[in-house]
Amino acid sequence: MKRTFRSLMIAATAVAAVAAALPARAVEISFYYPVAVSGPLTKIIEGLAADFEKANPDIKVKPVYSGNYGETLAKALTANKSGQPPQVAVLVASDALTLIDEDAVVAVDDFVKTPSDKAWLSGFFPAFMMNGRYEGKTYGVPFQRSTQVLYWNKAAFRDAGLDPSKPPQNWEELVEFGKKLTVRDASGQVTRWGLLVPSGVTSHWFLQGFTTPNKAVLTNEAGTETFLAGAGVVESLQYWVDLSRKHKVMPEGIIDTGTAPKEFIEGRAAMMHHSTGNLTNVKNNAKFEFGVAMLPARKGRGSATGGGSIYIFKKSSPEQREAAFKFVKWMTSAEQAARWSIETGYVAPRQDAWDLPVMKKYAQDFPPAAVALEQLPFCVAEFSTHDGPRTTKALEDAIEAAITGNKTPQKALTDAQAEATRILRTWKK
Amino acid sequence: MTVAHDSRAQRALETVAAWLLAVLWALPLLYAAWAAFHDSGDSARFDLAAPLTWKNFVYVWGAAPFPTYFLNTFLLVTLIIVVQFTLSTLAGYAFARFRFPGRDLMFVLVLLQLMIMPDVLIVENYRTLNAMGLIDTIVAIGMPYFGSAFGIFLMRQTFKAIPRELDDAARIEGAGSLLTLWKVYVPLAKPVYLAYGLVSVSYHWNNFLWPLIVTNSVSSRPLTVGLQIFSSGDQGIDWSIITAATLLSAGPLLVAFLLFQRQFVQSFLRAGIR
Amino acid sequence: MNDRNAANDDLASPWVGWGLFLPAAAFLAVFTYYPALATLYHSFFSNEKAGRPARFVGLDNYAAMIDDPIFWQALKNNGWFALGTIPASIALAIVMALLVNRALPGRALVRMSYFAPTILAMVAVANIWLFIFAPQIGLMNQIVGALGGMPHNWLGQPDTALASVTAVAIWKEAGFFMIFYLAALQNMPANLAEAAAIEGASRWYYFWKVTFPLLMPTTLFVLVNAVVNAFRMVDHIIIMTKGGPDNATMLLLYYVYETGFKYWDTTYAAAMSMVLLVILAVVAVGQFVILDRRTHYR
C-alpha cells in the first residue's frame, strides 16, 4: 500500500513539474477598432497585431473591425452591457466621459509602474492628452489623433490669380480668396466653389475650427457645464453661415462630411476644412498639387483635436488587463506610432515618434504632414461633456438649423444651450 | 384581361410608358454598376471612353471578410426558414383543423403580432437574449423571428382550403393527424411554402437594424451589417468601392431572381395570395 | 368559421391542438408579447447609470416625452412619411401590375426592373441613393441640371430631405406590392373582362367599377404591409441622414434606436416604444374594421 502511495506521489510530482515547465496558455485579448478613413487599414492593423504577438508570445490579440467611430462605440458599449466587452478598443478621444460614466474603462495610471512606463505616459503631446484625462487620471491613450487643417488646390489658386504658395491666413482672407476662387458658368451655376466646411456628421468639430481661432470656450473642463450661447460662439457660427449665405463661397445646406473630400479631389471646391486623417486619401487621389495649412486665424489660431484614443476596458480578468496594457503601450510607442502615422495620415501623438529617422524623412518628403504638428500648440480639446452624445446632438442640431437658415445662429445656439443645461442638470455638483 | 377594343395607339402608349418607368426604376442600379466598374476618378462622370475595371471588386473582396459574411447570412436564412416552416405548419394545422379551448382568442393575438414587428422591441429582446447568453450568435439574430404570425396566418388559410375529403381518405387508410399533415397537407401547400420562403428569405437576407444590435464580431455578422460597416468611413467615402461592395452583396439575390423570375411570380399566382 | 365536419376535431383530444400550437406560441410569447409587456414595465423606471440604480418614477418618462420637441418632430415626420409612401407605392404597384399583366415586348425585363429594388437590402440601396443625391457630383443634380432645373442639396436641406428619403422608400416598395397585385389580376375571371367589352364599357370605368373593387383583398393585405413598413423602415435614415438636418428626417423608430443604443437611455426608449406599439395596434384595428366592410369577397 505504502509503495503504491509513494509511486503515486512521485508520478503526481512529475506531472506537476512538467506542467509548470510548459508555457502558460496565452492570454487572449480582443481589440475593437474603427476604420475612420478609407484605405486598407485592416491589413495594417492585423500586421501590427501579428508583430506584437511575435514580441509577446504569451498574448494573443484578436482585432475586430467594427465600422466607424459611432458604430464601434455602440458595439463596445453594447458588448459591455452584456458582460463581454472587448479588452481594448479605439474610440473617439472625446468619448472618454461617456465610457467613464458607463463604468466601462479603467485608468491607465493603475498600470504605470516602471520608469519606462512613466516615460511612455509622459511622452505624449499635451494637446492630445486633454480629452482623455478625468479627475487627474488618464483613461484614453492617444492613438490616431488628428487636427483640422485647411486643404487648398494650388492649381485652382493659380487659375484665380492667387499665389499658389500662400493659403489664406485669417478670416478676411478666407472670404476674399473664396470669392476669387468661386467659378460660375454662363447661366450663373457654380462649377467650382471656393470652400467646403462640412456640416454633416461631427459638425461640432468643424464649428470648433472657428471657435478655437476666435478663442471662444464651449465647455468647462469638468464637462458639467456648456457655454454654447456665448458671444464668441455665436460670432463663429454666424461667420460660418455667412460663408454660404452672404459671401456665397460655399454651397448652401448641409455639406456631407464624407463626400466633401471627394468633391475637393474632383475639383468641385478649391479649399476645404477637414481632418488630417484625410491626408493620405487626398495625396493618393488628387490629380493636382495641393497644400495643407493651419486653419485661418482670428484672435488666435488652432482647431480642436480629434481622432481616436485607445482604451482598456474594465470587465476583464486582471491578466487580460495587464496584457491589454502591454498592447496599448506597444501600439502607442514611438515606432508603431510613426508607422501608423505614415500609413494613415493621422498625426503621430508623441515627440519621440517624430524624432525617428523614418518620420523625419516622411516629413521632409511630404511637408503637409508636419502642418498638424505646427498647429498643436494652439489646439484645444474636442467638445465633450457628461451625456456627451445628447449634448453634442443639441449643438449639432443648432448648427444644422443655422446652416440651413431655419434659425439665426443666436436663436439656434440659445436653444441648444437651454437643452444642454437641461441634460446636464443632474451632473452639476 | 385585356378589353377587346383597345386601340393600337393606346397599347403603344402603354408600352412606352411601361418602358420609361422601367428605365427610371433601373437607373439607380445602372448608376451603381457604372461607378463600380470604373475607377474612382471616372465614377462621377459619364465619359463612355473611360476604361472598365474589376479592381474595385477585387479590393472589396479582400478588404473585408465578405466570404464569412455570405456564409453567416446563408446559415441565418436557412435556420430561420427551417424553423419558421416547421412551427408555422404545426400551428397553422392546429388552427385550421383542431378545436381547442381559447383557439379564437389565440388567433386574434397571432394576428396582432402581424402589426408588431420585432424591430420595435429591440431593446427588450436584446435584454432577453443577453440573459440567455446568446448575444453575438447567429441563433440570436433569428430567434425573435422563429414564431411568425405571417406564417401561421398563411398556413392556416392554405390548410383550411384543402378539402376535408382528403382528410377522410387518409383516415380510412389509418393515418393519424400528424401523418395526414405530412402526407396530405404539406405537399398540397408547396406553392405557398415557396412564396412564403421567398418572402422570408428576402426579408432576412436584407434585415439590418436587429442584426446590427445583436452581433459584435465577424463570426456572427451577416452581409448587411458587414456591408454597412465597410461603407461607413467617417472621412473620404470612395463611391466606386462602396457601389462595388453593394453590388457584391446584392449579387446572389439578383442573380437568383434573374434565373427564377418566372417561378417566383408563378408561385405567388398559384398561392393565390389575395 | 364553422367547421362543417367536426368529426376530425372530436377524435383528437383538445390538447393536441395546443400541442401543435405550443412551439410557435412559445416563441411568440417570449419575443413579442413578453417584450411588449416588459417595455411597458421598464418605461416606468429611470435610467440606470454607473452609481445610480434604476428607480420607479411613474409617468416621468412619458411627461418628458410630451415635453420633448424631437419626439413630436419624429411623430410628425413619421406621419408625413407614411402619407407619402403608402398611397404612392400602392398606386404605383397597381399601375405596374396592370402594365406588366398584358403582353408587352420585353415584359420579363420590365418586370425585373420594377421588382429589383425589393431584392436589395435597404442598406445597399441607401448607399447608392446617397451617391445619387450628392449635391455636386450626384446623378440627381446632373439630371436636374440637364433638364434646366436648379440643383439642390436634396438631403442637406430640411425642406427636401424628408421628401428625398420618401422617394427612396417608394422606389423600394412599389415593386414588392406589384407582385401581389399581379397575382390577383391573373386570378381574375376572364369572362368579366369580356362581358364589359360586350357592354362597351370604357377601360377607365372598367377599372374603377370592377377591377379595383375586386382587388380590395389584395389592397388590404398590401396596406397592412405598407403601414407597418412606414414605421419599420429606418435603415435608410441610419445611413443617409441620421435623422437630420435638424431632425427633418427623424423618425420614431430611429429616435428609439438612438435613445436606446447611442444615449443608452433604455427606459426613455421603452416609453417611446410603447407609443409606437399603440400606434401600430390602433392602425391594425382600424384597418381591419374599415376595410373589412368594403371588401368584396368572392
Core vs surface per residue A307-329: b (16+ CB within 10 A) or e = bbbbbbbbbbeeebbbbbbbbbb
Residue A314 to residues A25, A59, A311, B215: CA-CA distances in angstroms? 22, 18, 10, 21
- Using CA atoms, how far apart are residues B221 and B250, in angstroms rounded to an integer? 16
Answer for the pair A400, A237: CB distance below 8 angstroms, yes or no.
Answer: no
pLDDT of residue B203 exceeding 60 = yes
Q: Mean pLDDT in chain A?
A: 87
Chain B CB contacts of C101 under 8 Å are 1
- Using CA atoms, how far apart are residues C81 and C101, in angstroms rounded to an integer? 29
Any domain includes C62:
no
- Using CA atoms, how far apart are residues A295 and A210, in angstroms rounded to an integer? 8
Any domain includes C4:
no
Core vs surface per residue A268-298: b (16+ CB within 10 A) or e = bbbbbbbbbbbbbbbeebbeeebbbbbbbbb
The count of C-alpha atoms lying within 13 angstroms of the C-alpha of C276, restricted to the half-sphere facing its C-beta, is 33
Instruction: Tell me what pLDDT residue A87 has.
Output: 93
Question: Which residue out of C4, C16, C21 would a mutagenesis test of the B interface target, given it has the greatest number of B Cβ atoms within 10 Å?
Answer: C21
Answer for the pair A169, A333: CB distance below 8 angstroms, yes or no.
Answer: no
Q: How far is C151 from chain B (nearest CA, A)?
A: 16
Indicate yes or no: CB of B268 within 8 angstroms of CB of C180: yes
The dihedral formed by the CA atoms of A47, A49, A55 and A56, expressed in degrees to the nearest 10: -160
Chain C CB contacts of A386 under 8 Å are none
Answer for the pair A231, A288: CB distance below 8 angstroms, yes or no.
Answer: no
DSSP state of C120: S
Indicate yes or no: CB of B265 within 8 angstroms of CB of C183: yes
Interface list for B 56-115 with C (CB within 8 A): 86-88, 90-91, 93-95, 97-101, 103-104, 106, 109-115
Q: List all residues 6 or more positions away from A287 whose beta carbon is below 8 Å from its beta carbon.
A: A265, B41
Indicate yes or no: CB of C157 within 8 angstroms of CB of A390: no
Which stretch of A98-107, B65-74, B263-272 has the lowest confidence by average pLDDT?
Answer: B263-272
- Cα A361-A362-A367 angle, rounded to 5 deg: 110
Instruction: Tell me what pLDDT residue C203 has.
Output: 72
Provide the domain count of chain C: 1
Quick: pLDDT tens for B98-153: 888 888 888 888 877 777 767 778 777 887 888 888 888 999 999 999 988 888 98
Q: What residue of B is the nearest CA neighbor of C222?
A: B274
Chain B CB contacts of A257 under 8 Å are 234-235
- Name the residue among A55, A295, A282 with its Cα closest to residue A197: A295
Which stretch of A382-391, B231-240, C148-157 has the lowest confidence by average pLDDT?
Answer: B231-240
Quick: pLDDT tens for A180-239: 999 998 878 888 999 999 998 889 999 999 999 999 999 988 889 999 999 999 999 999
Residue range(s) defining the domain that contains residue C242: 68-297
Chain C CB contacts of B228 under 8 Å are 123, 238-239
Indicate yes or no: CB of A66 within 8 angstroms of CB of B229: yes
Query: Percentage helix, strand, coil, to 5, in chain C?
Result: 75, 0, 25
Indicate yes or no: CB of A78 within 8 angstroms of CB of C246: no
Residue with cell 495643407: A292
The x, y and z cell numbers of residue C168, run together, are: 427612396
Indicate yes or no: CB of C121 within 8 angstroms of CB of B86: no
Indicate yes or no: CB of B99 within 8 angstroms of CB of C3: yes
> Which percentage of chain A shows pLDDT scores above 70?
93
Phi, psi of B75 (to 5 degrees): -60, -40
Q: List all residues 6 or more positions away from B70 whose beta carbon is below 8 Å from its beta carbon.
A: B223, B249, B252
Any domain includes C52:
no
The count of C-alpha atoms lying within 13 angstroms of the C-alpha of B111, restricted to the half-sphere facing its C-beta, is 16
The dihedral formed by the CA atoms of A163, A166, A168 and A173, expressed in degrees to the nearest 10: -40
- Name the residue among A211, A210, A333, A213 with its Cα closest to residue A273: A210
B-C contacts (CB, under 8 Å): 308
- Using CA atoms, how far apart are residues A52 and B224, in angstroms rounded to an integer? 32
The x, y and z cell numbers of residue A241, run together, are: 453661415
If pLDDT is split at 50, 70 and 90, which confidence band does B165 have? Answer: confident
Chain B CB contacts of C122 under 8 Å are 206, 208
Q: What residue of B is the nearest CA neighbor of C228?
A: B115
Burial class (CB in 10 A: 0-12, 13-18, 19+), B187: exposed
| Peptide bond before residue C245 is cis, with ω within 30 degrees of 0 | yes
- ipTM score assigned to the predicted complex: 0.80
The x, y and z cell numbers of residue B61, run together, are: 473582396
Residue of A70, A102, A406 with shortest CB distance to C158: A406
Instruction: Tell me what pLDDT residue B237 has.
Output: 63
**Is A84 at the interface with chain B, CB within 8 A?**
yes
- Using CA atoms, how far apart are residues A240 and A408, in angstroms rounded to an integer? 12
- Cα C290-C291-C295 angle, rounded to 5 deg: 135
- Using CA atoms, how far apart are residues A342 and A336, in angstroms rounded to an integer? 10
Answer for the pair B212, B69: CB distance below 8 angstroms, yes or no.
Answer: no
Answer for the pair A265, A285: CB distance below 8 angstroms, yes or no.
Answer: yes
Q: What residue of A is the nearest CA neighbor of C243?
A: A397
Q: How far is C157 from chain A (nearest CA, A)?
A: 5
Quick: pLDDT tens for A285-301: 889 999 999 999 999 99
**Is B47 at the interface with chain A, CB within 8 A?**
no
Indicate yes or no: CB of C24 within 8 angstroms of CB of B147: yes
Interface list for B 117-146 with A (CB within 8 A): 126, 130, 135-136
**Is C116 at the interface with chain B, CB within 8 A?**
yes
- pTM, two decimal places: 0.83
Residue of C49, C135, C137 with shortest CB distance to A101: C49
If pLDDT is split at 50, 70 and 90, which confidence band does B258 have? Answer: confident
Indicate yes or no: CB of C112 within 8 angstroms of CB of B258: yes
Indicate yes or no: CB of C253 within 8 angstroms of CB of B120: yes
**Is B149 at the interface with chain C, CB within 8 A?**
yes
Q: Three-state SS string across chain A, please?
A: CHHHHHHHHHHHHHHHHHHHHCCCCCEEEEEEECCCCCCCHHHHHHHHHHHHHHHCCCEEEEEEECCCHHHHHHHHHHHHHCCCCCCEEEEEHHHHHHHHHCCCECCHHHHCCCHHHHHHHHCECHHHHHHHEECCEECCEEEEEEEEEEEEEHHHHHHCCCCCCCCCCEHHHHHHHHHHHCEECCCCCEEEEEEECCCCCCHHHHHHHHHCCCCCCCECCCCCCECCCCHHHHHHHHHHHHHHHCCCCCCCCCCCCCCHHHHHHCCCEEEEEEEHHHHHHHHHHCCCCEEEECCCECCCCCCEEEEEEEEEECCCCHHHHHHHHHHHHHHCCHHHHHHHHHHHCCECCEHHHHCCHHHHHHHHHCCHHHHHHHHHHHCECCCCCCCHHHHHHHHHHHHHHHHCCCCCHHHHHHHHHHHHHHHHCCCCC
Answer for the pair C270, C42: CB distance below 8 angstroms, yes or no.
Answer: yes
Instruction: Please name the chains neighbouring B, where neighbouring means 3+ C-beta pairs under 8 angstroms.
Output: A, C
The x, y and z cell numbers of residue B191, run together, are: 406553392
Instruction: Tell me what pLDDT residue A150 has.
Output: 95
CB atoms within 10 A of CB C90: 22
Interface list for B 172-191 with C (CB within 8 A): 177
If pLDDT is split at 50, 70 and 90, which confidence band does A12 have? Answer: low
Q: List all residues 6 or more positions away from A415 whose beta carbon is below 8 Å from its beta carbon.
A: A398, A401, A407
Looking up residue C83, the CATH number of its domain turns out to be 1.10.3720.10
Question: Which residue out of C57, C136, C141, C258 would a mutagenesis test of the A interface target, given it has the greatest number of A Cβ atoms within 10 Å?
Answer: C136
Q: What residue of C is the nearest CA neighbor of B265?
A: C179
Instruction: Please name the chains neighbouring C, where neighbouring means 3+ C-beta pairs under 8 angstroms.
Output: A, B
Q: How far is B70 from chain C (nearest CA, A)?
A: 14
Q: What would the mean pLDDT of A302-323 be, rounded to a whole number?
A: 92
Q: How far is C14 from chain A (nearest CA, A)?
A: 42
Indicate yes or no: CB of A71 within 8 angstroms of CB of B218: no
Q: How far is C244 from chain A (nearest CA, A)?
A: 8
* Average pLDDT for runs of 10 along chain C of length 298: 44 74 91 87 80 79 89 94 94 90 84 85 84 82 83 86 93 89 79 72 76 81 83 87 88 90 86 87 74 50
Q: Mean pLDDT in chain C?
A: 82
Residue of A64, A71, A78 with shortest CB distance to B232: A71
Indicate yes or no: CB of C256 within 8 angstroms of CB of B123: yes
Instruction: Tell me what pLDDT residue C7 has.
Output: 43
Residue of C32, C34, C127 with shortest CB distance to B246: C127
Indicate yes or no: CB of A259 within 8 angstroms of CB of C264: no
Instruction: Tell me what pLDDT residue C6 has.
Output: 43
Indicate yes or no: CB of B202 within 8 angstroms of CB of C16: no
Domain boundaries, chain B: 68-272
- Does domain B68-272 fall under CATH 1.10.3720.10? My reply is yes
Chain B CB contacts of C283 under 8 Å are 115
> Which percentage of chain A shows pLDDT scores above 90?
55
Length of chain A: 429
Residue B38 to residues A25, A106, A113, A287, C43: CA-CA distances in angstroms? 49, 47, 54, 17, 51
Phi, psi of A316 (to 5 degrees): -135, 170
Burial class (CB in 10 A: 0-12, 13-18, 19+), A6: exposed
Interface list for B 224-253 with C (CB within 8 A): 224, 227-228, 231-232, 239, 242-243, 246, 249-250, 253
Query: What are the beta bridge partners of residue A138?
Result: A133
pLDDT of residue B4 exceeding 60 = no
Length of chain B: 274
Indicate yes or no: CB of C137 within 8 angstroms of CB of A262: yes
**Is C246 at the interface with chain B, CB within 8 A?**
no
Interface list for C 198-217 with B (CB within 8 A): 201, 203, 206, 211, 217
Question: What distance lies between CA A5 and its chain's CA centroid?
Answer: 65
Any domain includes C30:
no
Quick: pLDDT tens for C196-241: 767 776 777 777 877 888 888 778 778 877 888 898 888 889 888 8
The dihedral formed by the CA atoms of A367, A372, A375 and A380, expressed in degrees to the nearest 10: 180
Helix (H, G, I), strand (E, B) or coil at C133: helix
What is the helix (H) or strand (E) element at residue C203, kind and residue range?
helix C203-206
Answer for the pair A206, A198: CB distance below 8 angstroms, yes or no.
Answer: yes
**Is B241 at the interface with chain A, CB within 8 A?**
yes
Question: Which residue out of B136, B209, B216, B235 would a mutagenesis test of the A interface target, given it has the greatest number of A Cβ atoms within 10 Å?
Answer: B235
Indicate yes or no: CB of A281 within 8 angstroms of CB of B216: no
